[in-house]
């Protein structure tokens, strides 16, 4: 593998095509991880875009040999409509009958979120060796955030831990998130980016701007961005490694 494999940008005409391409990529990553190491360790993305992807992963992945983590969580309980866990449970974990023992949920309802973050880091690393994740699935916000690594927040400076609690004033929320060491250290990272409102942030991130997601996009390791034409509309022609239909 080249020292720093090129960033792959896969542009699709529709969300359905995008989700199909991303699902095939995740299935292949799962099969390879299980073949090579007996387990597939994946961190799921939150937000709404993954709702198009997760139902496509109900089949084609050996969930009995998969450990499911979450890139971040809102400081809410598991049944709260804002919960990333709840979204994944509805769209994937229950339909795919993922064994509960294989799902590592942030205890985001804990009154002490620092304790919850420490516990999550322990769960992420227990019985494992780095890289802690085979695949990190990420979204992108219009402000260039990913997971809960938001501009101007303390989580961006965390280098010695894999999981933190963080105040996100621009969202009026507390959050829990994996940090750069955890996400940049994954064997592979895939972004799912859809919609014109993401075009400016995606272009800035691909060009190496200092937005939070840029550090992950330009990490020393394979990164694939699955996006639709609207989200890709701000990319410069020199981003020639775009794979368009």
Q: Which residues contact residue 224 at a Cβ distance below 8 angstroms, ignoring those fewer than 6 apart?
A: 7, 8, 9, 10, 25, 188, 189, 190, 191
Q: Which of 53, 69, 141, 158 binds ligand 6PG (CB under 6 A)?
A: 141
- Binding piece for ligand 6PG, criterion CB under 6 A, among 59-67, 102-110, 142-150, 220-228: 142-150
Task: Choose one: 99-107, 120-128, 141-149, 229-237; the region binding ligand 6PG (CB under 6 A).
Answer: 141-149
Q: Give the total residue count for the chain.
A: 245
Distance from C-alpha of 102 to C-alpha of 89, rounded to nearest angstrom: 13
* CA–CA gap between residue 189 and residue 167 (Å, rounded): 25
- DSSP assigned state of 196: G
Q: Which is nearer to ligand 6PG, 33 or 140 (CB)?
A: 140
Among 49, 66, 83, 179, binds ligand 6PG (CB under 6 A): 49
Instruction: Tell me which H or E stretch contains 42.
Output: strand 40-44
Quick check: 103 and 93 in contact, CB under 8 A? yes
List binders of ligand 6PG among 5-34 (CB under 6 A).
none
- Closest listed residue to residue 75, CA positions, set 152, 175, 162, 160: 175
Residues numbered 144 to 183 that lie near ligand 6PG (CB under 6 A) are 145-148
Q: Are 195 and 231 in contact (CB under 8 A)?
A: yes
DSSP 43-64: EE--SSGGGGTGGGGSSSS-GG
Among 32, 39, 47, 58, binds ligand 6PG (CB under 6 A): 47
Q: Which stretch binds ligand 6PG (CB under 6 A): 30-38, 89-97, 133-141, 203-211?
A: 133-141
Q: Which CB sits closer to ligand 6PG, 1 or 151? A: 151
Segment holding 213, helix H or strand E: helix 212-217
DSSP state at residue 91? I
Site string for ligand 6PG, 67-106 (x = CB under 6 A): ----xx-----------x----------------------
- Which C-beta is closer to ligand 6PG: that of 178 or that of 235? 178
CA 12 to chain centre: 19
> CB of residue 70 vs ligand 6PG: minimum separation in angstroms?
8
Q: Which is nearer to ligand 6PG, 34 or 104 (CB)?
A: 104
Is residue 48 part of the contact set for ligand 6PG (CB under 6 A)? yes
Minimum CB distance to ligand 6PG smaller for 47 or for 131:
47
Least distance in angstroms from the C-beta of 62 to ligand 6PG: 25
Separation CA 164–CA 15 (nearest Å): 32
User: Where does this chain bind ligand 6PG (CB under 6 A)?
Assistant: 45-49, 71-72, 84, 139-141, 145-148
């Amino acid at each position: 593998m080249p020292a720093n494999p090129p960033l792959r940008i896969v542009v699709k005409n529709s969300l359905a095509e995008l989700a199909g391409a991303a699902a095939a990529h995740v299935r292949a990553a799962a099969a390879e991880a299980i073949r090579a190491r007996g387990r597939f360790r994946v961190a799921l993305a939150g937000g709404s875009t993954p709702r198009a992807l997760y139902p496509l992963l109900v089949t084609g992945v050996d969930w009995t040999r998969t450990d499911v983590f979450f890139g971040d969580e809102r400081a809410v309980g598991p049944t709260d409509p804002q919960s990333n866990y709840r979204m994944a449970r509805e769209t994937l974990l229950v339909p795919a009958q993922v064994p509960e023992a294989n799902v590592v949920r942030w205890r985001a309802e804990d009154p002490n979120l620092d304790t919850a973050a420490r516990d999550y880091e322990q769960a992420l690393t227990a019985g494992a060796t780095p890289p802690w994740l085979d695949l990190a699935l990420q979204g992108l916000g219009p402000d260039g955030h990913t997971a809960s690594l938001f501009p101007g927040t303390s989580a961006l400076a965390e280098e010695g831990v894999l999981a933190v609690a963080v105040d996100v004033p621009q969202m009026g929320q507390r959050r829990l998130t994996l940090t750069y060491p955890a996400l940049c250290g994954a064997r592979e990272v895939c972004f799912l980016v859809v919609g014109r409102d993401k075009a400016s942030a995606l272009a800035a991130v691909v060009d190496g701007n200092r937005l939070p997601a840029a550090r992950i996009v330009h990490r020393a390791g394979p990164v694939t961005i699955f996006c639709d034409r609207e989200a890709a509309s701000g990319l410069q022609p020199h981003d020639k490694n775009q794979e368009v239909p």
